[in-house]
Structures are given as structure tokens and as C-alpha cells.
Amino acid sequence: MNQPTPEGVRGKTIKKDGQEYFILNNIRIKITEHFPAAGKQMDELIAEFVTNKIKEKVR
């Protein structure tokens, strides 16, 4: 049934009919949102999220 993906296996991104898709094995996910190139990096977003959650708990 649901088996873990072996390490080192990577999906790929393709463009079909003007739409972008991420494909891994036989699973296809339509990509509908993108982070802006000039935006914050993922580690910065996660750090801000965690900091805000900690502040909520302290109040």
C-alpha cells in the first residue's frame, strides 16, 4: 500500500499546456502558487512562524 519513498528519489517539474506540475512516481500535483524570487527564504518564514506561535503562548 503506502510505502515510503526511498532516499535519493526525486520528483520532477514539468510544464504542460501552460500549467506547471510536480510529478513523483505516478502522482501528479498541479502547482498553483509560487513564492516570489525576491521574497523571504523558507527558513526565514518558518523562524517567523515559530517566533509568532511562541509569543501567542506567552501572552
Gap between the Cα atoms of 40 and 17, Å rounded:
30
Q: With respect to residue 40, please indicate whether it lies within any of the assigned structural domains.
A: yes
46, HSE (Cβ side, Cα atoms, 13 Å): 3
Residue range 1-58, pLDDT digits in tens: 455 556 666 788 899 888 899 898 889 999 887 777 788 887 888 899 999 988 887 7
Question: Which helix (H) or strand (E) is 14 found in, with range?
Answer: strand 12-16
Whose cell is 512516481? That residue is 25
Q: With respect to residue 5, please indicate whether it lies within any of the assigned structural domains.
A: no
Q: With respect to residue 35, please indicate whether it lies within any of the assigned structural domains.
A: yes
Q: With respect to residue 28, please indicate whether it lies within any of the assigned structural domains.
A: yes
3-class SS of residue 9? coil
Q: With respect to residue 32, please indicate whether it lies within any of the assigned structural domains.
A: yes
- Per the structure, how many domains does the chain have? 1
pLDDT at residue 1, rounded to an integer? 46
Query: What is the reported pTM?
Result: 0.43
